[in-house]
Amino acid sequence: MGKGHPTAARAFVDNRERAHWHDTALWFVREKRDRQAGSLPEWELLRETASSIKRHAQSQLADYLLQFEHEATANGAVVHWANTTSELNEIVTELLQSVDATDVVKSKSMLTEECHLNEHLAEEGIDVVDTDLGERIVQMRNERPSHIVLPAIHTKKEEVGELFHEQLGTEKGATDPQYLTEAARQHLREKFLNADAAITGVNFAIAETGGIVVCTNEGNADIGVSLPKMHIACMGLEKLIPKLSDLSVFTRLLARSATGQSITTYTSHFHKPRRGGELHIVILNNGRTELRAEPEIRDALHCIRCGACMNTCPVYRRSGGHSYNTTVPGPIGSVLNPSMDPKEHNSLPFACSLCGSCSDVCPVQIPLHHQLLTIRHSVKEAGGLAGSKRLSMRLASMVFKRPWLYKLTAGLGKCAVRLTPRFIKYSRLNVWGKGRELPPTPRGSFRKWYDKNGGSGGR
């Protein structure tokens, strides 16, 4: 069993100044998202539509995967299937070895993080350079990303300056983001021009056309894959969408939810490899089919990895992504990881104040906080819960089993949030405050949500 979230979060939380800085940085991104969402009258319609498209795709997943394989093959791509992460790593290694690749550039892909592909390739003597600036920073620091969209959000510019001074020879003490970004641009241009192959993730795979779509702001994916002969795209099988026109819905939601942009700078559609090149697409399962069999959790497969649930989560913002010890942190990570490996990650569903803000912002309407509660129950039933959380859990489950009591306590809670001075809420004496900032009064309360979703039987 890994060390639990509270233990892993301690150092981060104890550095109060830094925790506050992290919190503020993410709240800033959350606010940008709100402005974008507010600018479209059809926002809720888009979310609903996106959710239905994903549900539809999941209901006919086998057919869509086969259609995708057929179309992609007709386009000249080669489709590979991997049931486990080690299979994916093997396939990628063999492909790279077939062109004697030793220097590989990669653009952001949480999936290859999930497979620990870099480490695997390093053992085979293949050097992989992450080319997204944030990912490059964490790679140079020998860390893992702390956020799925903003990989280096936990890092200060002074630290980046020091890192670049040591490894790229920038001026000592330089902290100007413009200057540091320029240094990275020069450094990575070298890598792009000398790469033997490129690896990318996939944001969307289109069954109808056999194409894949990759979204970036930096342009690293497009440069990376268009220079060397080989492009290997790695995707989870849940990335499939039925039609090209479905992209209109997802491209409108993704960047607005992720960073508060109306679209990413590059939304790149690859149907054929570059002239004279090869395009390989590896489809990974790694437990996704098992997740798909769980009625209460399966919607988590709709996730488009926008990161909005992290930016809004009071626990994530104040404890940092690394405290989750997972590839995907935050609310969605707290659903996915314990579902796939309950023993290792059983503390994560409790890294949550059940404020419901994650479900409110999720562009594909995953009922995250409801799922977290479900997983809490199964962890508790399995007896895998640390003693210190037991009492509060018992209280919580007592309250949640009795809707009238929830109604009452939620009302009290809202008043208390508004009336309690900040120093009490965040005092170090307050154990809950340590890992759990009390949320801003939620827009749509869990209570309302619970009623809407047929939970009124207890009254």
Whole-angstrom Cα distance, residue 236 to residue 61?
A: 12
- Tell whether residue 108 is a contact of ligand SF4 (CB under 6 A): no
Identify residues 40-69 at the interface with another protein (CB under 8 A). Answer: 40-42, 45-46, 48-49, 52-53, 55-56, 58-59, 61-62, 65-66
Which candidate, 228, 239, 226, places its Cα nearest to that of 272?
A: 226
Residue 275 or 459: the one with the smaller Cβ distance to another protein is 275
**From the CB of 114, what's the least distance to another protein, in Å?**
16
Say how many residues touch another protein, by CB under 8 A.
94
Tokens of residue 434, six digits:
């340590």
Crossing angle of helices 133-140/157-168, nearest 10°?
70
Convert residues 177-196 into a mask of x (bound to another protein by CB under 8 A) and - (unbound): xx-xxx--x--xx--xx---
Residue 5 or 302: the one with the smaller Cβ distance to another protein is 302
362 binds, among another protein, ligand SF4, none (CB under 5 to 8 A by kind): ligand SF4
- Tell whether residue 266 is a contact of another protein (CB under 8 A): yes
Please list the residues that pair with 236 across neighbouring strands: 284
- Tell whether residue 365 is a contact of another protein (CB under 8 A): no
Residue 52 or 102: the one with the smaller Cβ distance to another protein is 52
Identify residues 319-338 at the interface with ligand SF4 (CB under 6 A). Answer: 332
Whether 396 and 351 have beta carbons less than 8 Å apart is answered as: no
Say how many residues touch ligand SF4, by CB under 6 A.
15
- Tell whether residue 28 is a contact of another protein (CB under 8 A): yes
Q: Give the CA-trace dihedral at 319, 324, 329, 333, to 10 degrees.
A: -130
Whole-angstrom Cα distance, residue 345 to residue 287?
A: 15
Q: Which helix (H) or strand (E) holds 74?
A: helix 61-75
Whole-angstrom Cα distance, residue 312 to residue 95?
A: 40
- Tell whether residue 166 is a contact of another protein (CB under 8 A): no
Q: Spell 144-158 as b/e; 16+ CB within 10 A means b.
A: bbbbbbbbbbbbeee
Whether 172 and 206 have beta carbons less than 8 Å apart is answered as: no
**Residue in the structure block whose two tokens are 């819960």:** 385
- Tell whether residue 151 is a contact of another protein (CB under 8 A): yes
**From the CB of 170, what's the least distance to another protein, in Å?**
12
- Tell whether residue 363 is a contact of ligand SF4 (CB under 6 A): yes
- Tell whether residue 202 is a contact of another protein (CB under 8 A): no
Residue 9 or 29: the one with the smaller Cβ distance to another protein is 29
Identify residues 290-349 at the interface with another protein (CB under 8 A). Answer: 290, 292-293, 298
- Tell whether residue 143 is a contact of another protein (CB under 8 A): no
Whether 232 and 95 have beta carbons less than 8 Å apart is answered as: yes
